[in-house]
Structure 1
C-alpha cells in the first residue's frame, strides 16, 4: 500500500438550507397514471435489524439486471422529521443525499446496489407525513373536516408513495417501472400501524397485479437443539395477515440453508407455496444475496405475479455480481486499516466509511481488516487509568497499514484522534481524515509544526488564540436539524501537482457529498501553506479549504469529503 497521509474535512460541499418538511418538486407534481407501476413492499417480523434493507436492495438489483428501471423508498416509523439529529449510537450513521437530505443508512445500500440517485423524499418518516398533513390542515385544505389517522394520514402516505415512485432516479432520466418499499421496524409495532393500514388499502387501490408483499422473518436455530424453529415466522405471518396484508414471498433469514422439511412446514402454516419460501442464510459477503434470490426463482415469480416486462436474455449485471462475489472469496492478501473513532462499538455508525474501504480493498484484490480503535484509549489519561487498554490501542494503531479518522461531533476523544494523526504524519503512514478528521489534522499540524500549542477548533475551545477551525457563517446556532453544509458540492483543484488529483484521474474538479458545520479558518491559510500544508482543493467560490496535501512527501495527502461514496457496486 502506498504511503500517504490524507484527511477529510466535515464535507466538501456548501449546504443549502433544507426543509425536510417540504415535499420536493416531484412530490408537488400532479398525480399521473400509475397503472403500470409495480410496487413491492418489504416488511419484517420477529426482530429488527434482520436485513430487510439488504433484501430490498437485492430485489431491486435482480430486477434491474432484467432491464427494468427500479426506484426505492424507505419508511421509518419514528416521529423525527429526518435522521439528521440522531446519535450514532441510536440509529447508526446519517446518510447524506445529493440534495442534502439526511436519511436512513439503508438509502445508502439502495444507491450502491442499484446505481441510482435518491432524494430526501425517498425516506418517509412519521414526522414528515404528520407535518405534511398538519400543514395542509393549517392552510384549510381539509375544508373544516376532522383530520384523522384514517383516512387523512393513510391517504397522505399512499399519495406520497405514488408520487415519489414516478421520480426518475437513473442517469437516463426515465420513469421507474418498479418501486421497492421497505417498511422499517417489525410487524406489530404500534408506530408502524398507520403505514400498515395505508398499504392494506393501497393493495386494492393499485390492484393485485401491481402490488406484492415480501415478508422477511427470522428462523432461529438454537445451539442447544440445532433445530431450525419456524414458530416465530408462523406468528409473524399470522399477525401480518391479521392486519390485512398477505405475504407473497416469505424470506427466511437463517444461519444455515433451510431444511426441506422446514421449508414445507413454513409453506403449510403460512399458506404459501414451497417455492414462495425463500432462504437467505448467512453468506460470505452481501454480494451473494442477489445471487441467492436469483437461484431460488424470485425473478421468475415476479414475472408471473406482476406480469413484468422482463428481458429474458439475462443478466449481465448479475454476472458482474457473481464475479465480484467469487473474487471476494478468493482474496488472500490482507490490508489492515486502523479506524480511530468515537463510536467504534457500533459499526453502523461508520457504515459508508466501512463500505468504501471494502470496495477499495476489493478493487486492489485485498481482504480488508478493520482495526477499530476507540480514540479515548489513545489518550494519556487512559494510560493512567487503564494501561492495558492504552497499550492494546496503540499496538493496533502501530500494526495497521493505514489510519482513518472519520467524522464526529463533540470534544470527547478528540485528543486521542490528534495523537493518532500525529503518529501517522511522523511515520508517513497512509492516512485519511474524514470530516472532523481533516479538521483535527489541521489542528495537529498547527500545534506540532507551527508551534501554536493552543490551536484548536472553536467547536471545542471558543476562546483559543489560534482558531484554526471555525464555525461557518451560515450555521444557525439556535437549531440543530438541517442547518449544516449538506449535499453534493463541487471542489476545484488549485494545482496540477496533486496526489488527490491523480487519484481522481487528473480531473479538474471532484464532486462529493458534505455534512459539516465547521471549516478551516481561511484567515490562517497563508501561515499553514508557508509551512508546507497545501490547500490544493477549494470550493467553487474559493472560500473553503477542502483538500489539503502535505508538501515534501508526495504520497501524503489530506482530503475533505463526507464518506458517502457516489460510486455503485456495479
Structure 2
C-alpha cells in the first residue's frame, strides 16, 4: 500500500481537497486502484455532531495510524479489489493546535510504512500583492520550515498563486524549502477546477510518483485524462444558463452545501449549461417575514419564481421548516422541476406524524443514532422515472445520513393522492424514493445522491432535475436515456417540435430540485409564475434575436466539436 499525505499551510481553504482529488484522478487514469481519506482534526467520537463528551483516547497517535491503515484497505471500486494508493487529506493548517496529534501520528507513520511507501505533498500560498506585483515566497518558506520542524519533510511543494510562478521564484522556493526545482509545482488560477489534474500532469507529477513510490504505472496515453480535458474545454464553451433556487437554512455559508453544489455543477455540465444557483434562506419565504421585513420576503419569492428549478436540501431543527414547505408546495402546484433530499419531522407532539423517528433509535437522543452509510434501495415498479435515470436496475446503493423516516402507516393514504413510493429498503419498511404523478419531475429521496456524483458521471436524481428544467427529460427518456449530440452544446437546442438558435436564448424551461418540472413556456409569451405573496410582476425573458453570420459559424463549429466528443464518449 502506498500513502500520499496532503497537508496545507499559511491559510485554511488553500485547496488541499482539490489537490488531493486531482492526484487521485491522475493515478486512477494510470490504471491504479485509489482510495482517499479526509481527516478533520477534531478529537471527538462523532465529528458529525461535535458532541464534546469524550475528547481523547490513550495512545492517540497509535490509534490514528491503525485507523488510517484499516480504512485504506476498504475496496472502493466496483471490481472490489483492494486499493493500491491512499490519498490522505489532513484538514486545517500546519501549526494549528488541534492538528498536532495528527501531524505527530504521520511523523511516526512514515517510518512504520517505510519511505518508499509514503509521500508528503504540502500545499502553500504564494501571494502577489497588487502594490508591488511581486510573488512573495516567505509564507511558503515559513510554512515548510514549521512542517519540517514537526518531523515531516514535503516531497512536493504545491504553490497556489494567481499567476504562473516565475523561474526565479521557483528556484528560490527550491533553495529555501530543501526540494528540487521539479518538486515545486505551480497551481495558478484557472478557468475551472477541472483543469487542475491536467495542470499537475503537465508538470511531471506522474513521473515523479513513478520514481518516488515505485508505482506500477503503464507508460501509455491516459484515456481518462483525455476525456477530462474535453470536459474542461466544454466547460469553457458553455453558452446557456440554467438557474436553480436552493432553498435552505444555511445559505449564508455555501460550503454547508458543498456536495449539493458540486452535484448540480456536474449535471449542468453534462447537459452543456452554465449553472446559476440562487440561494434563498427558507425563513425569508415564511409569512412571518412578510410582516417583519416585507422587502426581504418579496425578494426571496422573486428569486424562487424566476428560477428554472427548485432544490431543497436537508436540514435539522424547526427554524425555516415552514419556508421549505412553502417552496415545495409552490413547485408542486406550478409544476416546476423540484428535488428534495432528507427531510425531518419537527413537531414531536403532532397528532399526524408524517415523518417519524426510526423505532430502533431512542427518541431525542442525538449522538450516534443516525442511519449512516451505503444502503440498498429496491425499485417497486418498472414505470419509474428514477429507475430509468439510474439505467433500469432492480436496485441501487446510495449513502444515507438520517434519523427520521416516512411513517409507513400513511403510505397507502399518500399513494392514493398520487405520491408514489417507487423505492423502498430491502425490508420494505422504509420509503426511499417518492415520485408525484402527473408532474414533469417531482422526486424526493431519503438518501444523499450528491455524495456519489462525479464530473464524468453525475448523480441521476440531479441529472434528471436539470434535464427537466431545460425541457429535455421526456426526449432523454424516449431515446433510452442517451443524450442526443444535437441537443448538447451545439447551435441547436431541442424545444418540443421546434429548433431554436441556442446562442441567443438566455435560459430554458423550468427546473427544480425534488423533481418537479413544468413544460418550457413559449419563446414569445414567456413570463414568471406569480405567487400570491408577490404583488409585482417579475422580469420576463427577452425575445430571441437573429443570429449573425459570425455567431452562426461559431455555433456550428461547436456543434461539430460536440458531436465528435459524444461519439468518442459513447465508445
TM-score when normalising by structure 2: 0.75
The offset of 1:157, in angstroms, is 3.1
Q: How far 1:566 sits from its partner (Å)?
A: 2.8
Which region of structure 1 is more displaced relative to structure 2, 383-392 or 152-161? 152-161
Alignment of 1:241-256 (within 5 A): 241-256=148-163
Q: Does 1:522 align with 2:429?
A: no
Q: Note if contact 1:375-1:414 (Cα within 8 Å) is conserved in structure 2.
A: yes
Aligned counterpart, 1:429: 336
- 1:413 matched to 2:413: no
2:34 is aligned with 1:70: yes
> What is the CA deviation profile of residues 289-318 of structure 1, one whole-angstrom value per residue up to 9, with x for unaligned ones?
111110111111222222222210131121
Query: Aligned partners of 2:342, 2:267: CA distance in 1, in Å?
Result: 19
Encode CA deviations 1:477-525: one digit per residue, 9 max, x unaligned.
3532221222222222333332222322333333222222222222222
Deviation at 1:126, TM superposition (A): 13
Q: Which residue of 2 aligns with 1:40?
A: 4
What corresponds to 1:170 in structure 2? 77
Closer, same or farther in 2 for the Cα pair 1:491/1:196, shift >3 Å? closer
In structure 1, C-alpha distance between the alignment counterparts of 2:101 and 2:375, rounded to whole Å? 37
Alpha-carbon contact 2:243-2:307 (below 8 Å) kept: yes
Does residue 462 (structure 1) correspond to residue 462 (structure 2)? The answer is no
CA distance in 2, matches of 1:216, 1:502: 42
Q: Is the 8 A contact 1:78 1:126 kept in 2?
A: no
The yes-or-no answer on 1:60 pairing with 2:24 is yes
Which of 540, 550, 561 is residue 426 of structure 2 equivalent to?
540
Match of 1:213 among 120, 139, 144: 120
Alignment-derived partner of residue 455 in structure 1: none
Structure 2 distance, partners of 1:204, 1:550, is 57
1:229-240 matches, within 5 Å, as: 229-240=136-147
Q: What is the aligned counterpart of 2:233 among 316, 326, 343? A: 326
User: Structure 1 residues 494, 158: CA separation in 2 closer, same or farther (over 3 Å shift)?
Assistant: closer
Distance in 2 (alpha carbons) for counterparts of 1:79 and 1:234? 29
CA contact (8 A) 1:39 1:212 kept: yes
Q: Does 1:306 align with 2:213?
A: yes
With over 3 angstroms needed to count, the CA separation of the structure-2 counterparts of 1:418 and 1:193, relative to structure 1, is same
Name the residue aligned to 2:94: 187
CA-CA distance at 1:86 after TM superposition: 4.6
Q: Tell me the alpha carbon deviations over residues 429-468 of structure 1, each in whole angstroms, 9 at most, x when there is no partner.
A: 00111111xx6xxxxxxxxxxxxxxxxxxx4223323222
> Under a length normalisation based on structure 1, what TM-score does the superposition of the two structures give?
0.75
Identify the match of residue 475 of structure 1 among 361, 376, 398.
Answer: 361
Contact 2:357 2:404 in 1 (8 A): yes
| Partner SS, residue 42 of structure 1 | strand
Q: Is the 8 A contact 1:75 1:181 kept in 2?
A: yes
Question: Structure 1: where are the runs of 5+ without partners?
Answer: 1-36, 88-124, 135-151, 440-458
Secondary structure at 2:244 match in 1: strand
> Is the 2:337–2:440 contact (alpha carbons within 8 Å) kept by the matching residues of 1?
no
Separation in 2 of the partners of 1:260 and 1:127? 50
Matched, 1:82 2:28: no
Q: Is the 8 A contact 1:77 1:126 kept in 2?
A: no
CA contact (8 A) 2:339 2:442 kept: no
Q: Point out where structure 2 has 5 or more consecutive residues left out of the alignment.
A: 457-571
Q: Would the alpha carbon gap of residues 166 and 493 (structure 1) be closer, same or farther in structure 2, given more than 3 Å must change?
A: closer
Structure 2 contact 170–181 (Cα < 8 Å) conserved: yes
* Residue of structure 2 in register with 1:403 after alignment: 310
Query: Is residue 561 of structure 1 aligned with residue 561 of structure 2?
Result: no
Deviation of residue 567 (structure 1)? Answer: 4.4
CA distance in 2, matches of 1:568, 1:460: 32
Could you say what secondary structure the match of 2:373 adopts?
strand
Q: Tell me if 1:370 matches 2:277.
A: yes
Q: Contact between 2:8 and 2:123, CA under 8 Å: does it hold in 1? A: yes
Shift of 1:274: 1.7
By relative contact order (CA 8 Å, sep 6+), the higher-ranking structure is 1
Change (3 A) 1:401 1:554: closer
Instruction: Please list the CA deviations of residues 252-271 of structure 1 after superposition, one character each: whole Å capped at 9, or x if unmatched.
Output: 11222222222222122212
For these two proteins, the number of residue pairs brought into alignment is 456
For the residues of structure 2 that align with 1:377 and 1:552, how far apart are their CA atoms?
29
Tell whether the 8 Å contact from 1:56 to 1:180 is kept in structure 2 after alignment.
Answer: yes
Distance change in 2, residues 1:245/1:534 (3 Å) = closer
Deviation, 1:220, is: 1.7
What do the CA deviations read for 1:234-273 (whole angstroms, capped 9, x no partner)? 1111111112222111101122222222222212221222
Q: Is the 8 A contact 1:76 1:126 kept in 2?
A: no
1:401 shift after superposition: 0.5
Q: Is the 8 A contact 1:217 1:252 kept in 2?
A: yes
Following superposition, the deviation at residue 363 of structure 1 comes to 1.2
Query: Cα–Cα, structure 1 residues 228 and 489, in superposed 2: closer, same or farther, change >3 Å?
Result: same
Distance 1:202 1:514, change over 3 A: closer
SS, match of residue 452 in structure 2: coil
Residue pair 1:78, 1:127 contacting (<8 A) in 2 also = no
- Note the aligned Cα RMSD (angstroms): 2.3
**What's the secondary structure of 1:432's corresponding residue?**
strand
Does structure 1 retain, via aligned residues, the 8 Å contact 2:40–2:90? yes
Write the distance in 1 (CA, Å) between the matches of 2:385 and 2:177: 58
